[in-house]
């Protein structure tokens, strides 16, 4: 029991409390008024001519049957879905932020949405026909399992960046499994692509009507223990000292948040970053509205703010694209772009001197640092062996003698046909893996962040966006057009990233947060383009985005070879500067080196490598992380041996992933990028336990 001193009537404290509640009620009133206004505009948007005046006449009972049919059968279900999803995700985000004591926690950054999405897609693949409530149950199980895995990895806490990184990577791994299931089961998952990007399109009110009671129960359950959530924010020991049963309360709160998220995903798919943006908006108002510090206020106000975010995104989408195309583009695309902007703004609130969350990796293998040549030669031997195995394995198994006959032009027509198709694929996998690993090593040196990677920093997503624009806009785009598009996209994201982060002084946390935001925004825009494209281009682009070597041929490898040759020359001449650049900003300047010039050259080279690899093979995840880190573990940080070994290990990873993808499920194939994500994500999560802050 907590004893408090009585507050005298008319005392300043009581007057302040009354003013605070008045401000809170005023804020809620303004939010509800904004929601009502957006809802009214939302109901007037569509292909049928139902204007505001027609809505007023319908309310007064004077409207036509045709107008009533349009509103009831089409517009009202979409509006109801927006309200239900906004309430669920806004409240879930507020609960998760309170539980994690982390302003960056949300259903997205904790991988809860990705887990729920995967569970629903898996149910569709295995032809499990479920009613809407059964779907919520499946999604609840998937989201809860994902959250449990993440909490186990992060040991239930950690810095905001560590949690965001772990959650983002886990979500990427789960999304890779989801994409694999969709690629391998196109018939069973037809129509799930747009829903998977967050779509409010509904077939009547039945689905929303069945989910609303679950949302209400979850919301009331969280509010019932909201006071204990306030005490948990003080720390578990303090909360226990005040009589809070920590375990049961955490279970109720986590279960409520996951149930809210599962309900939203079942209705509309994963609508990104609503659970991040809505509580953030409420948090900004908390400094002027003191009651919002308490979760009994913050959770319901975040729910209303969530509705405002979802409705605003949907209304803005249809204003921008028109009533017909605005319906086709998923609303989740807009909210994800908004989430990317929010992460960039959150990064800018860091002071220039704020410490990075993860900078340095513990390095072992002293023997490898003393004998780097032996390690590099051994890695080269493994690459040769993996390349030979890649030529032999696939939907048809060959022998080593077949390769010899093919090289001497004595192979049979069948063997020649198989190897003529496989050899360019193997070569593209080797070269793309080497390019991405070198790019990762360079980016890690420039940002001095041990967890930086072209994919995590958004450069790969930018290259993918540029290439998809080329694939979908230009009919029968040649490989030169795709390469140019990938280069332009990668360059645009890289320029934006470092313009937003380097201007105020290098900070590793800022770079990673902005990069994650840009990657999410680029991926969302890519999804919007694919949804609006024709089915042929959509299927082709989805497969390519998975990182596929399918269709590779020798001319396609020329730009990649040229960029790799350029990288070899540049790194050979600048490896000493790179060693200094990886230390700090002051040491190179004291020794007369230009850090600005070195950064521009290094980042430009990393962008070129990423763009060329992406144009050649598609988007590959984690290669730029796994290759350099494995090399650093083996031979240390000196770039004259780190970069060559990174290239060899990156090539080994991609060619092995491509071989597995072509062989395990033959004649079906998994894109190499999905396999590298499934391998790289666990490796990345393990790295989180191996890094330390300076």
Q: Which CATH number does the domain housing residue 211 bear?
A: 1.10.3470.10
How far is the C-alpha of 119 from the C-alpha of 136, rounded, in Å?
10
Is 88's pLDDT higher than 90?
yes
- With left for phi above 0 and alpha for psi between -120 and 50, is residue 505 left, alpha or beta? left
- With left for phi above 0 and alpha for psi between -120 and 50, is residue 354 left, alpha or beta? beta
Residue 161 near residue 510, CB atoms below 8 Å: no
319 and 424 part of one domain: no
Residue 44, domain member (yes or no): yes
340 and 421 part of one domain: no
Listing DSSP states for 201-246 in one string gives --SSSHHHHHHHHHHHHHHHHHHHTHHHHHHHTT-HHHHHHTT--H
How far is the C-alpha of 555 from the C-alpha of 481, rounded, in Å?
13
**pLDDT at residue 160, as a whole number:** 64
Q: At what angle do helices 206-224 and 246-268 cross, to 10 degrees?
A: 160
242-269 residue pLDDT tens: 787 888 888 899 999 999 999 999 998 8
526 and 416 part of one domain: yes
Query: Encoding tokens for residue 510?
Result: 């800022």
Residue 291, domain member (yes or no): yes
Residue 686, domain member (yes or no): yes
162 and 293 part of one domain: yes
11-66 residue pLDDT tens: 565 666 677 788 888 888 999 999 999 988 888 876 666 656 666 666 666 666 56
439 and 554 part of one domain: yes
**pLDDT at residue 362, as a whole number:** 46
338 and 386 part of one domain: no
401 and 334 part of one domain: no
Average pLDDT, the chain: 79
Residue 532, domain member (yes or no): yes
Domains identified in the chain, total number: 2
| Among candidate residues 178, 175, 339, the one with its CA nearest the CA of residue 681 | 175
What does R_g of the chain's alpha carbons equal in angstroms?
27
**pLDDT at residue 59, as a whole number:** 61
How far is the C-alpha of 360 from the C-alpha of 380, rounded, in Å?
27
Query: Encoding tokens for residue 88?
Result: 């669920």
Residues in the chain: 694
302 and 413 part of one domain: no
**pLDDT at residue 68, as a whole number:** 61
Average of pLDDT values for 355-382? 67
| Among candidate residues 166, 272, 161, the one with its CA nearest the CA of residue 510 | 161
| Among candidate residues 337, 299, 251, the one with its CA nearest the CA of residue 525 | 337
Q: Output 440 or 129, whichever has higher pLDDT.
A: 440
pLDDT band at 694 (very low <50, low <70, confident <90, very high): very low
Average of pLDDT values for 484-504? 79
pLDDT band at 217 (very low <50, low <70, confident <90, very high): very high
301 and 234 part of one domain: yes
First to last CA, the chain: 43
**pLDDT at residue 372, as a whole number:** 80
User: Can you give 152-199 as a three-state secondary structure string?
Assistant: HHHCCCCCHHHHHHHHHHHHHHHHHHHHHHHHHCCCCCCCHHHHHCCC
pLDDT band at 69 (very low <50, low <70, confident <90, very high): low
Residue 15, domain member (yes or no): no
How far is the C-alpha of 264 from the C-alpha of 268, rounded, in Å?
6
Residue 572, domain member (yes or no): yes
Residue 368, domain member (yes or no): no
Helices (H), 45-75: 52-59, 65-70
Is the Cα dihedral 147, 152, 155, 160 positive or negative? Answer: negative
CA distances from 448 to 108, 362, 509, 510, 693 (A): 26, 14, 10, 12, 11
Other C-beta atoms closer than 10 Å to the C-beta of 397 total: 11
523 and 380 part of one domain: yes
User: Can you give 340-373 as a three-state secondary structure string?
Assistant: HHHHHHHHHCCCCCCCCCCCEECCCCHHHHHCHH
| Among candidate residues 120, 144, 122, 292, the one with its CA nearest the CA of residue 218 | 144
Residue 445 near residue 437, CB atoms below 8 Å: no
Q: How far is CA 564 from the centre of its chain?
A: 28
State which H helix or E strand residue 449 sits in.
none
Other C-beta atoms closer than 10 Å to the C-beta of 328 total: 15
**pLDDT at residue 584, as a whole number:** 63
Show Cβ contacts of residue 423 under 8 Å, excluding neighbours closer than 6 positions.
391
**pLDDT at residue 493, as a whole number:** 87
103 and 171 part of one domain: yes
**pLDDT at residue 274, as a whole number:** 92
543-599 residue pLDDT tens: 666 677 777 788 878 888 999 999 999 888 877 777 776 666 666 556 555 666 777
pLDDT band at 539 (very low <50, low <70, confident <90, very high): low
List of E strands, 41-196: none
Average of pLDDT values for 395-421? 83
DSSP helix/strand/coil, 692:
strand
**pLDDT at residue 468, as a whole number:** 83
List of E strands, 48-113: none
Q: Domain end: 306, 331, 346, which one?
A: 346
Show Cβ contacts of residue 153 under 8 Å, excluding neighbours closer than 6 positions.
166, 170, 685, 688
342 and 438 part of one domain: no
Residue 2, domain member (yes or no): no
As a whole-number percent, the residues of the chain with pLDDT over 70 amount to 78
| Among candidate residues 143, 192, 197, the one with its CA nearest the CA of residue 171 | 143
pLDDT band at 91 (very low <50, low <70, confident <90, very high): very high
How far is the C-alpha of 496 from the C-alpha of 223, rounded, in Å?
41
pLDDT band at 542 (very low <50, low <70, confident <90, very high): low
Q: Output 75 or 643, whichever has higher pLDDT.
A: 643
How far is the C-alpha of 275 from the C-alpha of 261, rounded, in Å?
9
Query: Encoding tokens for residue 126?
Result: 């295995």
Which range marks the domain in which residue 337 is found? 22-346
Other C-beta atoms closer than 10 Å to the C-beta of 243 total: 10
Q: Domain end: 296, 328, 346, which one?
A: 346
Q: Domain end: 346, 367, 392, which one?
A: 346
**pLDDT at residue 12, as a whole number:** 60
Show Cβ contacts of residue 142 under 8 Å, excluding neighbours closer than 6 positions.
115, 116, 117, 118, 119, 120, 122, 262
């Amino acid at each position: 029991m907590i004893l408090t001193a009585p507050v005298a009537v008319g005392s300043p404290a009581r007057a302040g409390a009354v003013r605070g509640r008045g401000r809170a009620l005023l804020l809620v009133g303004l939010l509800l008024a904004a929601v009502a206004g957006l809802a009214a505009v939302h109901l007037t948007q569509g292909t049928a001519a139902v204007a505001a005046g027609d809505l007023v006449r319908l309310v007064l009972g004077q409207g036509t049957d045709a107008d009533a049919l349009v509103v009831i059968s089409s517009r009202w279900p979409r509006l109801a879905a927006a309200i239900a999803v906004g309430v669920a995700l806004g409240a879930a985000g507020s609960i998760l932020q309170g539980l994690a004591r982390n302003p960056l926690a949300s259903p997205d950054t904790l991988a809860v949405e990705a887990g729920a999405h995967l569970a629903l897609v898996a149910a569709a693949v295995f032809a499990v026909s479920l009613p809407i409530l059964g779907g919520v149950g499946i999604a609840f199980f998937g989201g809860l399992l994902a959250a449990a895995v993440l909490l186990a990895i992060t040991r239930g806490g950690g810095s905001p960046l560590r949690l965001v990184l772990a959650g983002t990577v886990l979500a990427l791994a789960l999304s890779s499994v989801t994409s694999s299931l969709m690629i391998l089961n196109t018939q069973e998952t037809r129509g799930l692509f747009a829903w998977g990007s967050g779509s409010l399109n509904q077939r009547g009110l039945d689905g929303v009507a069945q989910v609303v009671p679950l949302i209400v129960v979850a919301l009331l359950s969280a509010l019932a223990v909201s006071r204990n959530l306030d005490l948990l924010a003080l720390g578990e020991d303090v909360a226990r000292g005040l009589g809070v049963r920590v375990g049961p309360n955490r279970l109720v709160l986590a279960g409520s948040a996951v149930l809210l998220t599962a309900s939203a995903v079942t209705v509309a798919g994963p609508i990104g970053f609503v659970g991040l943006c809505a509580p953030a908006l409420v948090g900004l108002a908390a400094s002027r509205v003191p009651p919002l510090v308490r979760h009994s206020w913050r959770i319901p106000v975040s729910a209303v703010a969530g509705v405002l975010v979802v409705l605003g995104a949907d209304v803005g989408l249809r204003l921008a694209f028109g009533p017909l195309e605005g319906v086709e583009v998923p609303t989740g695309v807009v909210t994800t772009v908004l989430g990317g902007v929010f992460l960039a703004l959150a990064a800018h609130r860091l002071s220039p001197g704020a410490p990075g969350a993860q900078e340095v990796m513990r390095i072992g293998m002293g023997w490898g640092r003393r004998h780097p040549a032996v390690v590099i030669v051994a890695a080269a031997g493994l690459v040769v062996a993996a390349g030979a195995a890649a030529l032999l394995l696939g939907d048809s198994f060959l022998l080593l003698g077949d390769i010899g006959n093919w090289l001497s032009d004595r192979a049979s027509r069948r063997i020649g046909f198989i190897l003529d198709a496989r050899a360019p694929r193997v070569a593209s996998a080797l070269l793309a893996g080497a390019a991405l690993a070198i790019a990762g090593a360079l980016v890690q040196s420039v940002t001095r962040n041990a967890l930086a990677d072209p994919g995590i920093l958004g450069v790969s997503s930018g290259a993918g966006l540029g290439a998809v624009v080329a694939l979908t806009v230009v009919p029968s785009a040649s490989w030169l057009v795709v390469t140019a598009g990938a280069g332009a996209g990668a360059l645009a994201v890289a320029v934006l990233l470092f313009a937003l982060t380097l201007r105020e002084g290098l900070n590793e946390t800022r770079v990673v947060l902005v990069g994650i935001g840009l990657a999410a925004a680029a991926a969302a825009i890519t999804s919007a383009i694919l949804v609006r494209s024709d089915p042929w281009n959509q299927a082709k682009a989805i497969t390519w985005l998975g990182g596929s070597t399918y269709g590779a041929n020798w001319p396609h490898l020329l730009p990649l070879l040229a960029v790799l040759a350029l990288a070899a020359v540049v790194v050979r001449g600048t490896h000493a500067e790179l060693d200094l650049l990886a230390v700090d900003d002051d040491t190179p300047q004291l020794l007369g080196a230009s850090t600005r010039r070195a950064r521009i050259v290094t980042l430009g080279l990393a962008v070129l490598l990423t763009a060329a690899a992406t144009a050649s093979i598609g988007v590959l995840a984690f290669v730029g992380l796994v290759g350099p880190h494995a090399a650093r573990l083996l031979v240390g940080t000196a770039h004259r041996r780190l970069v060559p070994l990174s290239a060899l290990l990156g090539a080994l990873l991609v060619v092995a992933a491509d071989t597995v993808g072509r062989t395990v499920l033959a004649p079906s194939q998994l894109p190499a990028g999905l396999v590298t994500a499934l391998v790289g994500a666990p490796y990345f999560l393990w790295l989180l336990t191996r890094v330390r802050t300076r």
